Structure formats: structure tokens, C-alpha cells
């Protein structure tokens, strides 16, 4: 092959990846712009349903009542065994649906004296556990106009004290209202699960430089696992997975897995430095996952309780990695992997913002876009860092 042909081939190899990226940006950019800027022509709108959040009152055992605005945290009176919320339905009822954002409670819903819905875990779970965060639906008819709507939280004193919103309207609009805040985050998560797994397979089986590519392999797995956790943990998971109880349980399992591939990725970035320290966190990650699985499947302990070791391990590991990268920045060793470092620090920052937003606004719902942006930029920078090092030889 002559030099001119070789030069032309190298030129094409440089142009094609950039062209593919441009094609993807144009396609996804047009899709996002059209769905964000243009009119909603799906036939339903998220504004086609009404809220009952300001109409409820709490009914006490002595017959007294007090108004409550949902969503809210309500501390149950100690002498009362359950929490009862009620509101009158309008007289001009049509065939509509009621949608309750159930934040992990066993409930019974009455229209007048008729029990319309009972939510518990009988026949819905493989193992014992609390009711999953989910949307519960009740069918209403014209005959229900003017009747009393009552929601009984039958184990409220022993459960969390978070109450979600209640909405009424056409079922299609209710579903859109439930899903719409999370649409972009769900799209991104599904995309990253596929991309992460495909990248991991390609790196594992189709790359000749397997030693250099190990870091990218672990990062791809980490991005896929983190994105899968996001899908399972999203309020919209109920409309993706047939059994929401199992999906919610698995969210804990995937969350407990995230730290391990990311730690193995960082270990490759640091080229063996701090290997013993990172090994401690890797072992801790494996142990915390084992505690989670064994404690739940064998001893029936609450997943929320069992997840505490994972939280401690993850926070400690991320804090340690941040400290190591900061030390490398001071010593200028960061130049060896500055692109990947930017991605990892960015992921930590976005994850921190995600947690803060959830703590500040627990009932508003979180689209998770910030979290997914953190995962994507960490994945992209790992690709760029790998490519840069590969070109250096």
C-alpha cells in the first residue's frame, strides 16, 4: 500500500467517528427539540387531570377533623391505629379515574361505604416487605357523584409518614401526568443500559488491547448498572416492569453493585497506586451486597435497613476517590488521566446535587436528569481518555 493510500485511509478513519457523532447529535437534537418546543399532539395533556390535594381532611377517632394539603408528612396521633383521609366527590362526576401516589403504604379506598381498592402485598411479592412506592388507581362512575371518598392508611403508625398526591381525570391523562416528569431521564437511562452493555461486550471480546481497555470495560459496566438502578428506582418503573414489588427490591441490589465496577475503573486509572486502600473498599462493596442479599432472602430483614452498609461504603469510597484525585491535582499527576478525572469528579458533583434535591423536595418527584447527565459524562470522558491513551501508544 503506497503512502498516498495510507494517508487517505487514516483521513477517513478520523472523519468517520466525527461524522457518526454529528449524525447522532442531529437526530437526538431534532427529537428533543420537537418534543420540548412543539405542541403536544399525542391526544392527551398532563393538564387534562385535576388534583384533590387541597380538599382532604384528616378524620380522628373522636370524630374531629383537620384540613391537610397533600403531599405532606403527617405525624399520626399516638392513640389512633390508622390514618383516614376523606373528601366529597363532586356531583357532576363522569367516568373518571382516581390516581393516588402511594409512598409505601397499605391502603383501603372507599367510595361511600363500598371498598373499591385494597393495597397490600398478598400475592404480589416473592418475599415479605413493605408496599412499593407506586401509583394506585380507582375506577369511578357517574353514580359516585356526591359520595364521600375515604382513603384509609391502615398501618400508618408503623410505616413512614409520607403522603403523596391524589389526582382525578381520564386514565390516559393520569398516566401521562405520572410519567411525563421522568420521560427524558427514562430515555437516557434505557439508552445508557444498552450502550454500556454493548461497549463492555465490544471491549471484552473485540479489542486487541485488552489490558489498556480494562478500565473502559469496568466503566461501561458501572454506567449500565447505575442506569439500570435509575430505571428501577424511578416512579415510572411501575409502567415499565410487570411486577413493581420485585423491581423496587432489585433497585436496592443494583444500587449496591454500582460502587464495585467504578472502584475497579479508578484502580486502573491510578495504575496500581492506592491499590490496598481501594481493595478495602472493593471488599466492603462485596460484603455489603452479600449482607443485603442474605439478610433479605434468608432472614427477611427490611431492605432499607440492610442498605445502610452500602450507603456508608459508597459515600466513603467516593470521598476517598475525590481526596486521591485532589491530591494528584496538587502534585500535577492528574495530567496522566485528567480527562477521566473530570468525568469522575463531575459524576460525584451531579450525584451530590441529585441527593440534595431529593432531600429538599421529596414529594415533588425528581426527573433524575442530573443523575443521568453525571453518568453519561463519566462514560463519555472514559471513552475520550481511553482513546487519548491509545493514540499515545
Across the range 296-305, mean pLDDT stands at 87
Residues in the chain: 393
Return residue ranges of the chain for CATH 1.20.1070: 181-392
At the second CATH level, the architecture of 181-392 is Up-down Bundle (1.20)
Return residue ranges of the chain for CATH 2.60.120.260: 47-169
Residue 296 has pLDDT above 70, yes or no: yes
Residue 266, pLDDT score = 92
> Which segment of 7-11, 18-22, 143-147, 209-213 scores lowest on mean pLDDT?
7-11
CA 207 to chain centre: 32
DSSP state for residue 182 in the 8-state scheme: G
* Residues 157, 277: Cα–Cα separation, whole Å: 43
Cα–Cα distances in angstroms (integers) from residue 244 to residues 129, 181, 235, 337, in the given order: 13, 19, 10, 41
Q: What are phi and psi of 339, to 5 degrees?
A: -65, -50
Residue 301, pLDDT score = 87
Across the range 209-221, mean pLDDT stands at 83
The single residue listed with the C-alpha cell 429538599 is: 360
Residue 75, pLDDT score = 85
Confidence of residue 78 (pLDDT cuts 50, 70, 90): confident
- The mean predicted confidence, pLDDT, of the chain is 85
pLDDT in tens, 125-180: 777 777 888 999 999 999 999 999 999 999 888 888 889 999 999 888 888 888 88
Residue 11, pLDDT score = 57
Residue 291, pLDDT score = 94
Contact 169, 57 (CB under 8 A): no
CA dihedral 18, 22, 24, 25 (to 10 degrees): 130
Across the range 310-331, mean pLDDT stands at 90
Residue 370, pLDDT score = 83
Confidence of residue 379 (pLDDT cuts 50, 70, 90): very high
Percentage of the residues of the chain whose pLDDT score is greater than 90? 41
pTM of the model: 0.82
Residue 13, pLDDT score = 59
Residue 154, pLDDT score = 92
- Per the model's pLDDT, the better-predicted residue between 363 and 257 turns out to be 257
Residue 118 has pLDDT above 90, yes or no: yes
Across the range 270-288, mean pLDDT stands at 91
Instruction: Classify residue 123 by burial, with Cβ atoms within 10 Å: 0-12, 13-18, 19+.
Output: exposed
Residue 54, pLDDT score = 92
- Per the model's pLDDT, the better-predicted residue between 10 and 205 turns out to be 205
At the second CATH level, the architecture of 47-169 is Sandwich (2.60)
Residue 225 has pLDDT above 70, yes or no: yes
* Residues 164, 363: Cα–Cα separation, whole Å: 7
Amino acid at each position: 500500500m503506497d503512502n498516498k493510500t495510507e494517508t487517505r485511509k487514516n483521513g477517513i478513519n478520523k472523519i468517520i467517528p466525527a461524522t457518526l457523532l454529528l449524525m447522532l447529535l442531529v437526530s437526538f437534537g431534532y427529537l428533543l427539540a420537537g418534543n420540548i418546543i412543539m405542541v403536544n399532539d399525542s391526544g392527551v395533556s398532563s393538564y387534562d387531570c385535576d388534583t384533590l390535594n387541597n380538599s382532604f381532611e384528616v378524620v380522628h377517632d373522636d370524630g374531629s377533623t383537620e384540613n391537610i394539603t397533600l403531599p405532606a408528612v403527617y405525624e399520626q396521633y399516638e392513640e389512633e391505629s390508622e390514618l383516614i383521609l376523606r373528601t366529597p366527590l363532586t356531583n357532576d362526576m363522569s367516568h373518571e379515574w382516581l390516581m393516588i401516589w402511594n409512598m409505601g403504604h397499605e391502603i383501603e379506598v372507599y367510595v361511600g361505604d363500598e371498598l373499591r381498592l385494597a393495597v397490600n402485598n398478598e400475592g404480589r411479592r416473592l418475599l415479605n416487605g413493605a408496599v412499593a412506592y407506586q401509583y394506585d388507581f380507582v375506577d369511578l362512575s357517574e353514580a359516585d357523584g356526591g359520595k364521600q371518598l375515604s382513603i384509609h392508611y391502615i398501618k400508618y403508625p408503623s410505616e413512614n409518614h409520607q403522603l403523596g398526591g391524589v389526582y382525578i381525570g381520564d386514565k390516559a391523562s393520569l398516566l401521562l401526568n405520572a410519567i411525563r416528569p421522568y420521560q427524558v431521564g427514562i430515555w437516557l437511562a434505557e439508552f445508557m443500559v444498552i450502550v454500556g452493555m454493548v461497549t463492555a461486550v465490544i471491549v471484552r471480546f473485540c479489542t486487541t488491547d485488552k489490558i489498556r481497555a480494562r478500565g473502559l470495560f469496568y466503566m461501561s459496566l458501572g454506567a449500565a448498572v447505575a442506569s439500570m438502578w435509575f430505571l428501577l428506582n424511578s416512579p415510572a418503573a411501575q409502567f415499565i416492569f410487570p411486577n413493581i414489588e420485585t423491581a423496587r427490591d432489585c433497585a436496592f441490589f443494583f444500587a449496591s453493585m454500582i460502587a464495585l465496577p467504578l472502584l475497579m475503573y479508578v484502580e486502573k486509572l491510578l495504575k496500581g497506586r492506592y491499590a490496598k486502600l481501594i481493595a478495602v473498599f472493593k471488599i466492603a462493596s462485596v460484603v455489603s451486597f452479600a449482607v443485603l442479599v442474605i439478610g433479605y432472602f434468608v432472614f427477611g430483614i427490611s431492605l432499607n435497613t440492610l442498605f445502610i452498609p452500602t450507603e456508608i461504603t459508597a459515600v466513603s469510597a467516593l470521598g476517598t476517590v475525590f481526596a486521591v484525585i485532589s491530591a494528584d491535582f496538587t502534585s500535577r499527576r492528574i495530567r496522566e488521566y485528567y480527562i477521566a478525572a473530570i468525568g469522575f469528579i463531575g459524576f460525584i458533583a451531579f450525584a451530590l446535587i441529585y441527593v440534595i434535591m431529593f432531600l429538599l423536595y421529596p414529594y415533588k418527584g425528581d426527573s433524575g436528569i442530573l443523575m443521568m447527565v453525571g453518568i453519561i459524562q463519566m462514560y463519555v470522558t472514559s471513552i475520550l481518555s481511553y482513546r487519548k491513551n491509545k493514540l499515545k501508544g
